[in-house]
Structure 1
């Protein structure tokens, strides 16, 4: 028996060495694939169609509309009426006039109601475009977010409501449910995960959160539209088989605040381009 065990040692060692070589090769292949995907995205970004959405959004921002026939130029996004530059880099945030934490899309709807005289349903209608059906909201969001490009994310937790909503977003991140018993954390709480050719950043780390959050909204090549953060989170929950979240819901704002805060310090680089 001792002789048999000794004779197996070289084979076991060879198997271990082969496994190590294969693992190293797989890691190199994965790194090479990621590098090539990054190059591809960089090439596409040089002609990002999102610029068309930004221009259309600026026009909508300045155009009188609604029953009151006024523009959105006096909308307060947190830095004072009409100040767009740098506003998105500090959202979501607490707004004293509503007594709640709001993300960009919630705040935009609020301004369309209070300034332009739209009903809430009118202000939040058609948030996500479809073939032959464009969305003013996506265009407005593209413009507003573009005005924070290059600025560092600076989301604060000074107000008690901001702290409460952040904690709710953190709870939502780890909450498991749906037909697959998934949570956001299932895909985005460890390093090195990937689905097909798509890297899954660890959103609990500053680096991972910065890489992900600062590049949304984004022009989706596969859809031919600019998709907002609300749409990104809606689509994630849909893929997890969660119940469909209502557009502009507080739970989506909470999840956005959790992710945005984790991305603090990262330079905002949206609207970007994605597959």
Structure 2
């Protein structure tokens, strides 16, 4: 009888913990839903659309002829197929690196100078706005990153290796937090980025407005913060390592809907 009572007590405790965990997750979801009604990312979207059409830079040109993968000037649907291979640059590019290429080739900006600028400063602020608008134009669409080109497949494999690579003072990897189901840190659910639907939910929510910092973060900035938490050196902006990780997550999230630009705590 004692064993039966103990088993019943443990089952009750386990059920209570599960209910408490579910209630916490539901509470956070409701909090995000309330915030989403007035997501400040919309202000960045408006600015991004203006920047896309505005004649700027040494060449006094707009970005309306920028090819994001679906033809010159086509924005709708481009975000959910990035990163992808571009023949004119001979490399796989994500949204940020592709915008840098267009800003340099069409408008005459120095892409290396922008890439070296701290987040939230000068042209990086404009980049965040452009990323917000372009991503918003594909909101609700399903991710379908191409893998036909050899470089696209290679970047997926590189991203996979980086995702599982353990290093740094804490022996962390991306997979330490995002490599399995039902993981949490504090009150934050951690999506499993190795498969759908977690990969789409995690990858497809960025760029996002961060309430805690009052800024809009691109995927590049989100990945930089992940590297910081792993005690790794910061990767270069629009570098191959961040693009490879984006390919890995994006391909894993195939079929999931983009919610970017989302809102985060």
Q: Same fold (TM over 0.5)?
A: yes
Superimposed CA distance per residue, residues 94-131 of structure 1 (whole angstroms, 9 cap, x where no aligned partner)? 0011111000111111111111111223332536216x
For residue 206 of structure 1, give the secondary structure of its aligned residue in structure 2: coil
1:194 to 184, 189, 207: 184
Q: Contact 1:217 / 1:229 at 8 angstroms: preserved in 2?
A: yes
Aligned length: 265
- Of 19, 24, 30, 2:15 maps to 24
What is the alpha-carbon distance in structure 1 between the residues aligned to residue 103 and residue 219 of structure 2? Answer: 19
Match of residue 75 from structure 1: 66
On the 8 A contact 1:207/1:263 being kept in 2, the answer is yes
Contact 2:54 2:61 in 1 (8 A): yes
Aligned equivalents of 1:164, 1:25: Cα separation in 2: 46
Whole-Å Cα distance in 1 between the matches of residues 61 and 69 of structure 2? Answer: 20
* Cα shift at 1:211: 1.4
Gaps of 5+ in 1: 1-9
Higher alpha-carbon Rg = 1
- Does 1:156 pair with 2:146? yes
Q: Are residue 55 (structure 1) and residue 46 (structure 2) matched?
A: yes
Q: Secondary structure at the match of 1:65?
A: coil
Identify the residue that residue 251 of structure 2 maps to in structure 1: 261
Displacement of 1:13 after TM fit? 3.9
Rounded Cα–Cα distance in structure 1 between residues aligned with 2:6 and 2:55: 72
Runs of 4+ in 1 over 4 A off after TM superposition: none
SS of the counterpart of 1:25? helix
**Is the contact between residue 114 and residue 123 of structure 2 (CA under 8 Å) also seen in structure 1?**
no
Change (3 A) 1:123 1:134: closer
TM-score with structure 2 setting the length: 0.96
Aligned residue for 1:190, secondary structure, equals coil
Query: Does the 8 A contact of 1:127 with 1:135 survive in 2?
Result: no
SS at match of 2:66: coil
Partner residue, 2:37: 46
RMSD over aligned CA atoms reads 1.6
Q: Secondary structure at the match of 1:54?
A: helix
**1:248 lines up with 2:265 in the alignment:** no
